[in-house]
Amino acid sequence: MSDRARLGFIGAGWWATSNHMPLLAARPDVELVAVCGLGADSLARVRERFGFGLATTDVHELLACGLDGVIVSSPHTLHFEHAKAALAAGCHVMIEKPMTTQASQAWELVDLARERGRHLLVPYGWNYKPFVERAAGLVREGVIGEIEFVTCHMASPFATF
């Protein structure tokens, strides 16, 4: 029995390779076991860079590896399908936002995680960043004045893997 968490990734795009994989690969208590995504060339580069034992385009092959947990960072419309399969395989699941594209699917995942005794997590830490906390403080203090309109835009660059 290993004292390291055996993890798999479903989705190997920019967000996973720039954020989750580097942080988890650096941890001594984590083993990056398998990665699943599209494109054999990019998967080979991800496998080499982060030390995954398996790189595959088949979700079911990844889930057959005896993983403790899975990070789902696939396209939004596949989050439900991938998280459900991972939970059914007995894995803890961290699923990127949006959790699903339909509320009923999100509740189905919550119920399945409870039934299986697995953790289901949607990470979002930006609300705890110092600049966000400072902005919230300025709003509370009335420094900014009454907010009448807010717009937000987030763009993701493309990495070449």
pTM: 0.81
Is residue 122 within 8 A of residue 96, CB to CB? The reply is: yes
- pLDDT of 157 reads 59
User: Between residues 10 and 155, which one has the greater pLDDT?
Assistant: 10
**What is the reported pLDDT for 154?**
66
Cite the active site residues. 97
In a 10 Å sphere around its CB, with 0-12 CB exposed, 13-18 middle and 19+ buried, how is residue 28 labelled? exposed
pLDDT 10s digits, 92-151: 999 999 999 999 999 999 999 999 999 999 998 777 789 889 988 999 999 988 888 888
CA 97 vs. chain centroid, Å, equals 8
- Residue by residue, DSSP assigns 39-97 as -HHHHHHHHHHHT-SEEES-HHHHHTT--SEEEE-S-GGGHHHHHHHHHHTT-EEEEPS
Output the CATH code of domain 5-121. Answer: 3.40.50.720
Domain positions in the chain are: 5-121
Confidence of residue 13 (pLDDT cuts 50, 70, 90): very high
Distance, in Å, from the CA atom of 18 to the CA atom of 14, rounded to the nearest integer, reads 6
Kind of pairing, strands 120-121 and 30-36? unpaired
pLDDT of residue 100: 96
